[in-house]
Amino acid sequence: MKNILITGGSGFIGSHVVRLFINKYPNYNIVNLDKLTYAGNPENLTDVEDAANYTFVKADINDDKVIFELFEKYKFEGVIHLAAESHVDRSISNPKQFITTNIVGTLNLLNAAKDCWKDNMDGKIFYHISTDEVYGSLGADGYFYEDTPYDPRSPYSASKASSDHIVRAYNHTYGMPVKISNCSNNYGSHQFPEKLLPLMINNIKNSKPLPIYGEGVNVRDWLWVVDHARAIDDVFHKGRVGETYNIGGYNEWKNIDIVHLLCDTMDDKLGREKGTSRGLITFVKDRAGHDMRYAIDATKIKEELGWEPSVTFEQGMNKTIDWYLANEAWMENITSGAYLDYYKNQYINR
């Protein structure tokens, strides 16, 4: 059995990666290290938590002593590092936690791996999961390529850019066998409803206002989370050490257009008169420093690793909406309590 460490496995993307690896690789013992912050939810993994090749460890990547002890105990062969503070709006109101977790936490993991692998780095992999937001913001044309210069513009993207640089520096300086991928916006099941799509789905269902920042003209490039997990599998197993891979599905939407699509699809699924949910749209004060457009060129991962999205956007979106409608209890459990305070601070009087 190879011990593989996945950090942040109880979050949105991490839970899909943990599920894929547990089911696909019975010869791996998957160790999910997660602090279970507000974004980490054990209910994301109830279907696989009893698997023989799964171990959960509640720990904080900022606690370097605990991280070193874990590497000592499990002698990990590979690391897939997803744990992070991930929400741009929270990074605007509380940047410090992003610097601590995303930068220092990543450094702690690199140091523990370096120490554990010091006698032999052959076959080991430290795979850091990053975002397209490190490249900055695009105008109407063009794409982000693997060699696009970094130009992060929010505390979130600046902290992710910093951690990417440190990961590359460990490769260059110490010969650490690292890989990095930078993905576009993900959508799918199990996403915490502070991000655009689950927030809108939940509000449409409950006939609550749909808060669109600014004029809704900002563009995001959306990828189904299961396809991101498949890409992570490909990069982990087939990607070249020291390389970066951009991941995206050529699927750009203006925020207002994607919310219109959600409204119309959900009116149909909920048996409401067409146009009902569009009436809930409310334009609110824009996000500070709001990046205008993200778009990924995913040629490299397609040509080198043969990865492509497995579903069309329409298929992925249908599966996603159906999942949220069928899993009311999941949504209710996380939108009671602290979520209500967050929601009030973020949206009331905006």
φ, ψ dihedrals at 7, nearest 5°: -95, 145
Q: How far is CA 4 from the centre of its chain?
A: 19
For ligand NAD, give the closer residue by CB, 85 or 234: 85
User: Out of ligand TYD, ligand NAD, none, which partner does residue 213 contact, by CB within 5 to 8 A per kind?
Assistant: ligand TYD
3-state DSSP call for residue 347?
A: helix
For ligand TYD, the binding residues in 276-335 under the rule CB under 6 A are 287
222 binds, among ligand TYD, ligand NAD, none (CB under 5 to 8 A by kind): none
Which of 133, 221, 252, 291 is catalytic? The answer is 133
236-275 positions binding ligand TYD, by CB under 6 A = 255
Nearer to ligand TYD, 110 or 247 (CB): 247
CA distance 288 to 280: 23
Which residue among 60, 132, 221, 234 is the active-site one?
132
For the question of residue 119 being annotated catalytic, the response is no
Q: Write out the residues near ligand NAD by the rule CB under 6 A.
A: 8, 10-14, 34-37, 39-40, 60-62, 82-86, 101, 105, 129, 131, 160, 183, 185-186, 192
Q: Is 32 in the site for ligand TYD (CB under 6 A)?
A: no
Q: Please work out, in degrees rounded to the nearest 5, the angle formed at the alpha carbon of residue 179 by the alpha carbons of 44 and 90.
A: 50
In the bound complex, which residue of the shown chain has the CB atom lying closest to ligand NAD?
11
Contact 178, 127 (CB under 8 A): yes
Residues 85-114 that bind ligand TYD (CB under 6 A): 88
**What is the phi/psi pair of residue 83, to 5°?**
-55, 130
Active-site annotation holds for 133 = yes
CA angle 175, 181, 183 (to 5 degrees): 165
Between 89 and 304, name the residue whose CB sits nearer to ligand TYD: 89
DSSP 184-248: -EEE-TT--TTSHHHHHHHHHHTT--EEEETTS--EEEEEEHHHHHHHHHHHHHHSPTT-EEEE-
Task: Quote the least distance from Cβ 177 to ligand TYD, whole Å.
Answer: 29
Catalytic residue among 54, 74, 127, 156: 156
Q: Is 235 left (phi over 0), alpha (psi -120 to 50) or beta?
A: alpha
The structure tokens listed for 337 are 């309590």
Question: Is residue 164 classed exposed, middle or buried when 0-12, 13-18 and 19+ CB atoms within 10 A define those classes?
Answer: buried
Nearer to ligand NAD, 123 or 337 (CB): 337
**Which range, of 111-119, 139-147, 174-182, 213-221, touches ligand TYD by CB under 6 A?**
213-221
Count of positions on this chain that bind ligand TYD (CB under 6 A): 12
Q: Which does 8 bind (CB under 5 to 8 A by kind): ligand TYD, ligand NAD, none?
A: ligand NAD
List residues with catalytic annotation: 132-133, 156
Interface positions with ligand TYD (CB under 6 A): 88, 185, 195-196, 199, 211-213, 218, 220, 255, 287
